[in-house]
Amino acid sequence: MNMSCEQIGELLPDFLQGDLSSSKKGIVEAHLAECANCRDEVAVWQKLALLPMEQPSAESRLRFAAMLHAYQEGRSDRGKAHFELDRVEREPRRVGSPWSFWQWLRTPVGVVAWSAALLLIGLLAGNFYAGRTPHAPASGNQEQIAQMEEELRSTRQLVVLSMLQQQSASERLQGVSYSQREQQLDPQVRVALLHTLRFDGSVDVRLAALDALSKHAAQPQVRTGVLDALQEQQSPLVQVALIDQLVEWRDREAAQQLKNFEQQPNLNPTVKQRAEWAVSKLN
Amino acid sequence: MLQVRDGAGETLGVLFDRYQTPLYNFYAKLTGDRTLSEDLVQEVFLRILKYSRSYQPGTPFRAWIYQIARNARVDHYRKTPKHISLEPEMAPPVKPKDEAQESQEAEMLHRALMQMPEEKREILILSRFQELKYEEIARLLGCELGTVKTRIHRAIQELRHVFRQMESGAAAGAAAPAMPPRRVGS
């Protein structure tokens, strides 16, 4: 089938991302074989790979720490925050350094810099506690702490939710492990973890999500969610872990559903055995 | 209080480690200015700290963070009007020593990109370098998926045009580097 360049142009963006069905891909490839102009468009797009991923300077991470500090200090004193940011910005910058921040941290200079930064933070905090900061009256303190705690909670939630969306399994694992830092299970995080438990492509991530959820059996949604996840689970490893969890929770309501579950055809023998054992335990 | 403060820092640090390089590259390729790019990355994280509650769980996080990034840049230019330079400020950093031709091509591509209208440059960068799906770009730019694809195709056509023109210019008179035309306004 012959298509005009215009028609091919509509398919080209998906072609470049590898998102076309094989029949459409064939049409585009056939056109490209004959049309030098369209072929050149693809060539230029591919050439963009010559432009590399650049690394920000090593100071970027330090500026970030300083920015955080200035922001938190600055809530009671805006002018000072800007001053500190300005000062940081005027520091000389090592341009294009290939060092990663962590490597830099291990060097003696890095250690000294960090120690100094921590000392500074400590001193400022000490000052604050001693009530010597003129712009932070004691009455505002409680409110400020509450505000900070709320901010921390909301930032953690953001980190968990964003990390669970990452493409790499190790980053998703990091997201799961972050979710465990909060004593309370936030409803949004719970939804995200249960989604991970059911649909994540990696067995490790699913198991980690189960582990994170296991501490929140008091929430009925967690128990139902885990039970639901068992019905859809394909991996025997995760199935067994889910069954064990239900036994650990002594979830009597789960017994009936486990009974139905063990009747499923094509169930892995080990899983079936485990389910039988679980039913006997729970009854 | 210190504990809460360190907690927020450490937590946001996870996001910083994950996104500072992609965001920096987004800005660097868009503006051609490394210093400004680092400043804007800091601004993005400051805004994340301030507005973390505005993220709606269940929506793509990347689209949200790039929305913040775009706004930060727009606000920056609102405060500090863009100065238009004839030459791009940033030389491309690649210099594969054994591949002189590649290095030359990379430089030319960089200049061609910088010469394109900003919206086209931006959509090329978002789709080619920022790991964003077209759906996410559509969400980010507030337009239809089909519109995103059309715009990407037009941007590729223009980039090809500018790049090939530069290339033939360079081949014709190797001594005189091609001068980008002056852009009026921004």
Structural domains of chain B, with CATH: 7-82 (1.10.1740.10), 92-174 (1.10.10.10)
Separation between Cα atoms, residue A258 and residue A255, nearest integer Å: 5
- Considering the domain architecture, whether residues A158 and A253 belong to the same structural domain is answered as yes
In a domain, A46, yes or no: yes
In a domain, A259, yes or no: yes
Average pLDDT of chain B is: 83
This prediction's pTM: 0.71
What pLDDT, on the 0 to 100 scale, is given for residue A48?
Answer: 93
The residue written with tokens 């000052």 in the block is A127
User: Quick one: CA dihedral A31, A33, A35, A36, positive or negative?
Assistant: positive
CB-based contacts of B17-23 (< 8 A; 24+ apart in sequence): B18/A162, B18/A163, B18/A166, B18/A171, B19/B44, B19/B65, B20/A56, B20/A60, B20/A61, B20/A64, B20/B45, B21/A53, B21/A54, B21/A55, B21/A56, B22/B129, B22/B130, B22/B131, B23/B65, B23/B69
Radius of gyration for the alpha carbons in chain B, expressed in angstroms and rounded: 19
Does the distance separating the beta carbons of B16 and A161 come in below 8 Å?
Answer: no
Least Cα separation, residue A145 to chain B (angstroms): 6
Question: Is A86's Cβ below 8 Å from some Cβ in B?
Answer: no
Mean pLDDT of A104-119: 64
- Considering the domain architecture, whether residues A198 and A237 belong to the same structural domain is answered as yes
In a domain, A96, yes or no: no
Size of interface A-B (CB pairs under 8 A): 178
Of A61, A63, A163, the CB nearest to B14: A163
In a domain, A138, yes or no: no
Does the distance separating the beta carbons of A155 and B109 come in below 8 Å?
Answer: no
Of B4, B48, B124, the CB nearest to A148: B4
What pLDDT, on the 0 to 100 scale, is given for residue B180?
Answer: 54
Least Cα separation, residue A279 to chain B (angstroms): 35
From residue B145, give the alpha-carbon distance in Å to each of A26, B73, B134, B142, B159: 23, 24, 7, 9, 21
Of A54, A72, A191, the CB nearest to B25: A54
List the single residue in B with minimal CA-CA distance to A127.
B2
Does the distance separating the beta carbons of B129 and A129 come in below 8 Å?
Answer: no
Quote the Cα angle for B48-B54-B58, to 5°.
105
Burial (0-12, 13-18, 19+ Cβ within 10 Å), B57: middle
- Considering the domain architecture, whether residues A196 and A118 belong to the same structural domain is answered as no
Mean pLDDT of A126-147: 61
Short-list A66, A112, A74, CA closest to A90: A66
Separation between Cα atoms, residue A264 and residue A282, nearest integer Å: 19
Residue A275 has pLDDT above 70, yes or no: yes
Does the distance separating the beta carbons of B127 and A51 come in below 8 Å?
Answer: no
Q: Which of B30, B35, B40, B52 to mutate to test the interface with A (most CBs of A within 10 A)?
A: B52
Residue A11 has pLDDT above 70, yes or no: yes
List the single residue in B with minimal CA-CA distance to A81.
B46
Burial (0-12, 13-18, 19+ Cβ within 10 Å), A224: middle
What pLDDT, on the 0 to 100 scale, is given for residue B2?
Answer: 56
Short-list A92, A165, A152, A70, CA closest to B42: A70
- Considering the domain architecture, whether residues A235 and A171 belong to the same structural domain is answered as yes
Least Cα separation, residue A102 to chain B (angstroms): 11
- Considering the domain architecture, whether residues A108 and A215 belong to the same structural domain is answered as no
- Considering the domain architecture, whether residues A231 and A264 belong to the same structural domain is answered as yes
Structural domain span for residue A66: 55-90+102-128
- Give the tokens for residue B112: 């061609």
In a domain, A143, yes or no: no
pLDDT confidence of A254, banded at 50, 70, 90? Answer: confident
- Considering the domain architecture, whether residues A40 and A65 belong to the same structural domain is answered as no
Q: Give the distance, in angstroms, between the CA of residue A8 and the centroid of all CA atoms in the same chain.
A: 37
Separation between Cα atoms, residue A134 and residue A145, nearest integer Å: 17
Q: Which of A78, A162, A178, A193 to mutate to test the interface with B (most CBs of B within 10 A)?
A: A162
ipTM: 0.81
What pLDDT, on the 0 to 100 scale, is given for residue A80?
Answer: 42
- Considering only A24-33, A94-103, A222-231, B89-98, which range has the smallest mean pLDDT? A94-103
Separation between Cα atoms, residue A227 and residue A251, nearest integer Å: 10
What are A16-36's pLDDT values in tens digits?
Answer: 999 999 999 999 999 999 999
Q: Which of A158, A188, A196, A199 to mutate to test the interface with B (most CBs of B within 10 A)?
A: A158
Q: Which of A44, A89, A196 to mutate to test the interface with B (most CBs of B within 10 A)?
A: A44
Least Cα separation, residue A251 to chain B (angstroms): 29
What pLDDT, on the 0 to 100 scale, is given for residue B4?
Answer: 57
pLDDT confidence of A134, banded at 50, 70, 90? Answer: very low
- Considering the domain architecture, whether residues A191 and A208 belong to the same structural domain is answered as yes
Q: Which residue has the higher pLDDT, A142 or B120?
A: B120
Contacts of B2 in chain A (CB under 8 A): 121-122, 125
- Considering the domain architecture, whether residues A192 and A272 belong to the same structural domain is answered as yes
- Considering the domain architecture, whether residues A62 and A36 belong to the same structural domain is answered as no
Half-sphere exposure of A253 (CA within 13 A, CB side): 6
Cβ count within 10 A of residue A62:
19
Contacts of B57 in chain A (CB under 8 A): 157, 161, 188, 191-192
- Considering the domain architecture, whether residues A75 and A159 belong to the same structural domain is answered as no
Least Cα separation, residue A23 to chain B (angstroms): 19
Separation between Cα atoms, residue A265 and residue A164, nearest integer Å: 33
pLDDT confidence of A214, banded at 50, 70, 90? Answer: very high
Least Cα separation, residue B72 to chain A (angstroms): 16
What is the residue type of A233? Q
Does the distance separating the beta carbons of B20 and A56 come in below 8 Å?
Answer: yes
- Considering the domain architecture, whether residues A208 and A273 belong to the same structural domain is answered as yes
In a domain, A140, yes or no: no
In a domain, A27, yes or no: yes
Residue B142 has pLDDT above 70, yes or no: yes
Contacts of B92 in chain A (CB under 8 A): 51
In a domain, A176, yes or no: yes
Which domain CATH number covers A235?
1.25.10
Task: Give the count of domains, chain A.
Answer: 3
Residue B106 has pLDDT above 60, yes or no: yes
Does the distance separating the beta carbons of B9 and A45 come in below 8 Å?
Answer: no
Burial (0-12, 13-18, 19+ Cβ within 10 Å), B47: middle
